[in-house]
Chain A
Amino acid sequence: MATLDYVRRRFLPHIWCPGCGHGTLMATLVRAIEELAIPKDQIVMASGIGCSSRIVGYLDLHTLHTLHGRALAFATGVKMAKPDLHVIVPMGDGDALAIGGNHFIHACARNIDLTAIIMNNQTYGMTGGQVSPMTGHGERATTMPYGNLGQALDVVAVARAAGATYVARSTVYHAPQLKKLLMKAIQHRGFSVVEVLTQCPTYYGRLNQRGDAVEMMTWFKEHAVPVGSDARKDDPARFEVGEFVNVERPEYCASYDEIVTRLKPREDEHA
């Protein structure tokens, strides 16, 4: 199938601003699904609220546009009912880690076979550039005009600590790498988290004088270093990209099936 076969063309061009990285993530995700050759009716995509969550409207899969922060809860229900389907959950940074923070850590702990994609643009774009859990210390937002007093959450550290069995990070500049990581995350059996840095030139970029989309993507290019690189010591703004965690642990639906099989009365017991 061609890339656009997974897209609801009648809704394009999409509502995202010129230069928004979410479109690049959407296209990369579609390419990952296309390369894995997963039929459209085998994929469920659940999203919450925000710019990021609009992605489900554009993709021609089984899609759910749910409550703010609760996409993982809906996705958990879908996966429990239909464990054979691939369930992908694209979320924004605020959606996943502020409003849905508890859902996120408990989904990690359960190790249920979902693919969580955190589209991190470091702000709440749809509502006007408020401070998000991923806004860095000192960075400006409309609700932090003199710079953020807090600091950004490290999603990778949170996901690892909470027990996610696949954790990776990339950016929309690194689209070819991002595609490979998304493919591995979708194939991974267990809870997988992919943090994707995407640019919001309209709010985060403008409020922090980061320039246009091209300049913001160039910043990703210049500051991304491979996992474990020593280059981070020279510049604290640098961040690691690649695969952080890839381990095996009992998966939630599989454990559930085991109990059902174990507790089911055997034929001879009824006799």
Chain B
Amino acid sequence: MARVKKKRLLLRREWCKGCNICVAFCPTHVLGLDEENRIQILDESRCIECYLCEWRCPDFAIELVDLASEEADGAKEGAA
């Protein structure tokens, strides 16, 4: 069943410390760590927008961005 995506994942790799918390607790295995031990998206289509990665990340390295409001803001990048 196709779902309408309302959010997208914004990763801030430069703040990620590779603690694996988001990877381990993601209920649909969307995330993984790359060869540099930093966060990467394996398959965003599986994302159910539950926010558990964003809420448990100790490093502000993941955020679910609202697609509608992002379009309104003119797609500005989040990381400093």
What residues of chain A have their CB less than 8 Å away from a CB belonging to chain B? 3-4, 7, 9-10, 12-14, 16-24, 26-28, 31, 172-173, 175-176, 179, 212-214, 217-218
Chain B interface bracket (under 10, 10 to 19, 20 to 34, 35 or more): 10 to 19
Interchain CB contact under 8 A, B21 and A19 = yes
Interchain CB contact under 8 A, A213 and B80 = no
Q: Name the A residues within 8 Å of B19 (CB-CB).
A: 18-19, 212-214
| B24 contacts A by Cβ under 8 Å | yes
Interchain CB contact under 8 A, A7 and B17 = no
Q: Name the B residues within 8 Å of A14 (CB-CB).
A: 59
What residues of chain B have their CB less than 8 Å away from a CB belonging to chain A? 14-15, 17-21, 24-25, 52, 55-60, 63, 78, 80
- Nearest neighbor of A12 in chain B, beta-carbon distance: B15
Q: Name the B residues within 8 Å of A176 (CB-CB).
A: 55
State the CA gap A3–B78 with chains docked (Å): 11
Interchain CB contact under 8 A, B60 and A172 = no
Q: Name the B residues within 8 Å of A23 (CB-CB).
A: 57-60
Interchain CB contact under 8 A, A212 and B58 = no
Interchain CB contact under 8 A, B55 and A213 = no
Interchain CB contact under 8 A, A214 and B60 = no
State the CA gap A22–B58 with chains docked (Å): 7
Q: Name the A residues within 8 Å of B56 (CB-CB).
A: 24, 172-173, 175, 217
User: Once A and B bind, how many residue pairs between them come within 8 Å at the CB atom?
Assistant: 67
Q: Name the B residues within 8 Å of A28 (CB-CB).
A: 55
Give 19 pairs: A residue, B residue, CB < 8 Å, sorted on A: A3-B63, A9-B80, A13-B17, A14-B59, A19-B58, A20-B58, A21-B58, A22-B58, A24-B21, A27-B57, A31-B55, A175-B52, A175-B55, A212-B19, A213-B20, A213-B21, A214-B19, A214-B20, A214-B25
Interchain CB contact under 8 A, B55 and A27 = yes
Interchain CB contact under 8 A, A27 and B20 = no
State the CA gap A27–B14 with chains docked (Å): 17
* Residue from B18, B63, B80 within 8 A of A18 (CB atoms): B18
State the CA gap A12–B77 with chains docked (Å): 16
State the CA gap A105–B15 with chains docked (Å): 38
Q: Tell me the smallest distance from the CB of B76 to a CB of chain A, in Å.
A: 11
- Nearest neighbor of A27 in chain B, beta-carbon distance: B60
**Most A CB atoms within 10 A — which of B19, B21, B25, B58?**
B58
Q: Name the A residues within 8 Å of B58 (CB-CB).
A: 16, 19-24, 26-27, 172
Interchain CB contact under 8 A, A13 and B59 = yes
State the CA gap A23–B22 with chains docked (Å): 13
State the CA gap A112–B70 with chains docked (Å): 42
* Residue from A3, A19, A172, A175 within 8 A of B17 (CB atoms): A19
- Nearest neighbor of B51 in chain A, beta-carbon distance: A176
State the CA gap A12–B60 with chains docked (Å): 9
Interchain CB contact under 8 A, A214 and B80 = no
State the CA gap A212–B58 with chains docked (Å): 14
* Residue from B14, B55, B60 within 8 A of A7 (CB atoms): B60
State the CA gap A184–B78 with chains docked (Å): 29
Q: Tell me the smallest distance from the CB of A79 to a CB of chain B, in Å.
A: 29
State the CA gap A7–B60 with chains docked (Å): 10
